């Protein structure tokens, strides 16, 4: 019986599972999108690949990121995908290039916490705010 218990407990660990035996409850993770809006106000067409400019050059394709809880524990990590330009203003300016922001979206699996923050390329943490308008999402707006 002890061998069966050991085999059942070791299987998830050896397979890379996050939960082990002996725990009363597994921590549930939910699919969430982290959205970052870098308000760099760059002149470019809407919908093209972009990266942060000026003081935000660390926001770029393949920059390392991690999502932390309020205490600094890492909940998810990865690399940024390329950003996409979004219009800075709702008005149609009727020109090909307009002031834009660069938006990054990262799908992650997160456990429920009271607070989240984003760290990009080892820089200072940015607080994340819940926004369920497009499904479960956490949003950071980087000031211009």
Give 41-86 pLDDT, tens digit per residue.
899 999 999 999 888 999 999 999 999 999 999 999 999 999 999 9
Q: Tell me, yes or no, whether 98 lies in a domain.
A: yes
Name the residue range of residue 136's domain.
35-142
Q: Tell me, yes or no, whether 8 lies in a domain.
A: no
Q: Tell me, yes or no, whether 82 lies in a domain.
A: yes
Q: Tokens at residue 112, please?
A: 């429920």
Q: What is the pLDDT of residue 11?
A: 37
Please name every residue paired with 76 in a beta bridge, in sequence order, or none if there are none: 67
Q: Tell me, yes or no, whether 22 lies in a domain.
A: no
Which distant-in-sequence residues (6+ apart) come within 8 Å of 67 by Cβ? 34, 74, 75, 76, 77, 108, 110, 116, 117, 118, 119, 128, 138
Q: Tell me, yes or no, whether 41 lies in a domain.
A: yes
Q: Tell me, yes or no, whether 29 lies in a domain.
A: no
Q: pTM higher than 0.85 for the full model?
A: no
Q: Tell me, yes or no, whether 72 lies in a domain.
A: yes
- Alpha carbon distance 69, 75 (integer Å): 7
Cα 113 to the chain's mean position, in Å?
A: 15
Count of the separate structural domains present in the chain: 1
């Amino acid at each position: 019986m002890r061998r069966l218990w050991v085999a059942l407990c070791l299987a998830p660990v050896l397979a890379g599972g996050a939960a082990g035996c002996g725990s009363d409850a597994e921590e549930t993770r939910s699919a969430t999108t982290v959205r970052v809006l870098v308000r760099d106000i760059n002149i470019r067409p809407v919908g093209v690949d972009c990266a942060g400019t000026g003081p935000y050059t660390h926001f770029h394709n393949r920059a390392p990121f991690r999502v932390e809880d309020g205490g600094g524990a890492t909940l998810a990590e990865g690399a940024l995908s390329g950003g996409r330009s979004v219009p800075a203003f709702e008005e149609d300016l009727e020109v090909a290039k307009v002031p834009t922001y660069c938006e990054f979206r990262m799908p992650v699996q997160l456990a429920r916490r009271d607070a989240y923050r984003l760290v990009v390329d080892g820089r200072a943490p940015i607080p994340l705010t819940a926004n369920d308008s497009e499904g479960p999402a956490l949003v950071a707006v980087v000031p211009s």
